[in-house]
Structures are given as structure tokens and as C-alpha cells.
Amino acid sequence: MKTLKEVKVGDTVVVTRLNGEGAVRRRIMDMGITKGTQIFVRKVAPLGDPIEVNIRGYELSLRKADAEMIEVS
């Protein structure tokens, strides 16, 4: 499976699975990232961290470590 960390700028993907446990998983879900949600990758910082995405009508910056826990298709 491909993770959000591997998606290129300008691509739109759909969340298929959330990895992680406990507080980390809950924090990701609280940001609106749930199974079936579409995510558009807007920008990636020059050094690769963070990743800026558009989800549910708002912009969100994610660390690479968090993006690695989100499986997409």
C-alpha cells in the first residue's frame, strides 16, 4: 500500500486505512482524516517536512511521520 508521504504534489488520493495507535491515531482522526476521505496534496516543504494538504475544504500541514501512518489509494 502507498502512504500519504509517497504521494506527489498535485495528486488527489482517498484514505483507505489509518495506522497508529492511541493518541496519535485519535489526533489524526480529529483533524478530519478518516477512511474514505479525499486528500489533495498542495505542497511539500523544500526539505520534505511538512506536507501541506487540502482536506474537507481546509488546508492542513502534516509531518512526514504522521503522513506515513495514512494509507491511500
Measured CA to CA, the distance from residue 42 to residue 11 in angstroms comes to: 8
pLDDT tens string 12-62: 999 999 998 889 899 999 999 999 999 999 999 988 789 999 999 999 999
Measured CA to CA, the distance from residue 23 to residue 38 in angstroms comes to: 23
Give me the pLDDT at residue 20, please.
84
Is the C-alpha dihedral spanning 22, 24, 29, 33 positive or negative? negative
The residue ranges of every structural domain in the chain are 2-72
Label residue 11 by pLDDT band (50, 70, 90): very high
What CATH fold (topology level) applies to the domain 2-72? Answer: SH3 type barrels. (2.30.30)
